[in-house]
A and B are shown apart, each in its own frame.
Chain A
Amino acid sequence: MHTPLPNTDLQTTYYALAAVVLPFVAFLINFMVSSKSSKMSGWISTGAVLMSAVLAAMVFARIWNMQQIHGQQLWFSIGETPVYAGVWLNNLSVLMLLLVTVVAVPVHIYSTAYIKTHENNRYFTYLSLFCFSMLALVVVDSMVLLYAFWELVGFSSYLLIGFWFTRDSAVQANKKAFIMNRIGDIGLLTAIIILFAQYHTFDLVQLFGEKGLLYTSTIKDGLWLPSSSIVPPHNGWVIYGSEGISSVWQYVAFTGIVLAVAAKSAQFPLHTWLPDAMEGPTSVSALIHAATMVAAGVFLLGRVYPMFNTTELDILAVIGCFTAFMAATIALTQNDLKRILAYSTISQLGYMIMAMGINAYSSSLFHLATHAFFKCLLFLCAGVIIHEMQHIKEENELDIDPQNILYMGGLRKKLPVTFVACVVGCLALVGFPLTSGYLSKDGILIQSFEWADGRSAMFRLVPYGIMLTSCLTAFYVARLIFKVFFGEFRLKEILPNVHLHVSDGGWQYTLPLLFLSLCSLFPLFSINPVAYEHAWLYQGFAPSNYLARESAYHMLVPIGINIASVFVAYWAYAVYIQERKLVFPQTSFWFRLSYHQWYIDIFYRNVIANAVVQLGKALFWVDRSVVDGLIELLTKITEMLAALSAWTDRYIVDGTLHLIAATTSAIGNFFRGFQSGKIQYYLFSMLAVILAVFIIKLLI
Chain B
Amino acid sequence: MNILTLLIFTPALFGLIILALPSSFRASFKYITLLATLLQVGMSAFMYLNFKTGAAFGGINQESQYQFVHKLPWISLNLGTVGKMQIDYFVGADGMSIMLLVMSAIVMVIATLASWEIKSNLKGYFVLFLLLDMAVMGVFSALDFFLFYLFYELMLLPLYFLIGMWGGVRREYAAIKFFLYTLFGSVFMLLVMVGLYLSVTDPATGNHTFNIVQMMNPANFQKYSVFGLAVPQTIFGISARVVGFVVLFVAFAIKVPVVPLHTWLPDAHVEAPTPVSIILAGVLLKIGGYGIIRICMGIFPEVAASCAFWLGLLGVVSILYGALNALAQRDLKRLIAYSSVSHMGFVLLGVASQTAEGVSGAMMQMISHGFLSSMLFFLVGVIYNRVHDRDIYNFRGLATLMPEYATYVMIAFFASLGLPGFSAFVAEAFSLAGAFKSTLIPHWMAVCGSVGILLSAAYFLWTLQRMFFGKELLKGGEIWRTALTKLDVREKAALLPLALLALILGIMPSLALDKINDSVLAFVQFLQHK
Contacts and interface: CB of A to CB of B under 8 A. Distances in A.
B465 A172 contact: yes
Interface string A476-502: 000000000000000000000000000
B325 A147 contact: no
A412 interface: no
A571 interface: no
Tier of interface size on chain B: 35 or more
Interface of A: 75-81, 144, 147-149, 151-152, 155, 162, 165-168, 171-172, 175, 178-179, 182-183, 185-186, 189-190, 192-194, 196-197, 245, 249, 252, 612-613, 615-617, 619-620, 623, 627-628, 631
Contacts of A155: 414, 419
A623 B267 CA distance: 12
Given A166-B470, A197-B436, A619-B325, A77 B465 contact: no
B465 A175 contact: yes
Interface string B414-438: 1000011100010001101100110
B260 A627 contact: yes
A178 B418 CA distance: 13
5 contacts: A76-B508, A78-B513, A166-B471, A175-B465, A623-B325
B168 interface: no
Query: Nearest 8 pairs between A and B by C-beta?
Result: A79-B356, A148-B420, A616-B327, A76-B510, A616-B328, A620-B328, A171-B469, A616-B324
Contacts of B327: 612-613, 616
B400 interface: yes
Nearest to B459: A616
Given A77-B513, A165-B469, A175-B462, A631 B454 contact: no
Nearest to B452: A186
B486 interface: no
Nearest to B263: A628
B357 A178 contact: no
B8 interface: no
Contacts of B397: 166
Contact of A183 (B429, B454, B469, B517): B454
**Residue among A76, A81, A147, A172 having the largest count of chain B Cβ atoms under 10 Å:** A76
A189 B429 contact: yes
Interface of B: 177, 259-260, 262-263, 321, 324-329, 355-357, 359-361, 397, 399-400, 414, 419-421, 425, 429-430, 432-433, 436-437, 443, 446-447, 450-451, 453-455, 457-458, 461-462, 464-465, 468-472, 508-510, 513-514, 517, 520-521, 524
A189 B420 CA distance: 12
B471 A193 contact: no
A25 to B, nearest CB: 16
Given A81-B357, A194-B436, 15 more contacts: A75-B510, A76-B510, A78-B513, A79-B357, A147-B420, A152-B421, A155-B419, A165-B399, A168-B469, A178-B457, A182-B458, A193-B429, A612-B324, A616-B325, A623-B321
Nearest to A152: B420
B263 A627 contact: yes
Contacts of A192: 433
Contact of B513 (A76, A162, A249, A612): A76
A386 to B, nearest CB: 22
A196 B433 contact: yes
A615 B323 CA distance: 11
A196 B443 CA distance: 13
Given A165-B469, A189-B429, A78 B360 contact: yes
A245 B444 CA distance: 13
B211 to A, nearest CB: 28
Contacts of B464: 175
B517 A78 contact: yes
Nearest to A189: B450
B257 to A, nearest CB: 11
Nearest to A181: B457
Quick one: which of A81, A178, A193, A615 has the most chain B CB within 10 A?
A193
B400 A166 contact: yes
Contacts of B517: 77-79
Contacts of A162: 469
A613 B447 contact: no
A190 B447 contact: yes
B510 A77 contact: yes
A193 B433 contact: yes
Contacts of B260: 627
Nearest to A182: B457
A192 B400 CA distance: 39
Contacts of B447: 190, 252
